Amino acid sequence: MNRFEGRRVLITGGGSGIGRATVHRILAEGGRVHTVDVSEAGLKETADQARSAGHGERLTTALLDIADEASVQAGVTAAVGLLGGLDVLVNAAGILRSAHTHQTGLDLWNKVITVNLTGTFLMIRESLPALLEGDEPVVVNFSSTSASFAHPYMSAYAASKGGIQSMTHALAAEYSKQGLRFVAVAPGSIESGMTTGAGPGLPEDTDWSLFAKLAPAIGQGFAGPETVAGVVAMLASQDGAFITGTEIRIDGGTHF
């Protein structure tokens, strides 16, 4: 399929995980992609993989901190210039931090909210002028199953993703008559840098019984990031043209 041939796509968080998988999926379908991340090493690895797959000529990368307004303003301007416009924005960048809520300092709370929620807002705000001039434009935001279902020790993360989900609905209504779609994906039980290793940073005294309802109903455990990338590609393509103002849950039936 070449659903993205001729389309100009900006993807945040392309240095790892689901963001990287989305970069490769859009490239494989013919898109021209500019991806940004805070990790220079991650971006280099993504670019190396794209070249190995024969897609390197359609990918550009740059460092960008979505939590920093000046970085976003300069980065989006540069991206639009490189791409020659903008048709698709995918806000995949984000962080996950966990702690007992009574031990959650304001610095941790603000960090999660600033990166996840404010960062998504800044990327959208700065991209809007170019998107409104784009071809069948669409924004795909990243919510999470934590926005609607209980994920213990993750109140800051859940709040940030709930905010993204609500903001997606509001933006879809605001820009509907201008032909700009806003949709969100809500991944759960997906392998990524946020869900493996030290990513979640769960407390040492974690009560694992609280996670009894957080297991996928299908498959053999967590799914790979390409599972989400495929849904993002559908939503951002003509196949998703009648979908806006909603979220798509991708969790293997973890939350029936």
Verify whether residue 157 is a known catalytic residue: yes
Q: Which residue in the list 4, 121, 153, 157 is annotated as catalytic?
A: 157
Question: Rounded to whole angstroms, what are the CA distances from 108 to 73, 96, 194?
Answer: 25, 10, 16
Q: What single DSSP character describes residue 223?
A: B
Instruction: Name the one residue in this structure whose structure tokens are 């220079």.
Output: 40
Q: What angle do CA 33, 163, 152 make, to 5 degrees?
A: 105
Residue 184: strand pairing partners: 141, 247
| Cα–Cα distance for residue pair 28/221, rounded to 1 Å | 26
| Cα–Cα distance for residue pair 232/237, rounded to 1 Å | 9
Supply φ then ψ for residue 134, to 5 degrees.
-80, 180
Residues carrying an active site annotation? 157
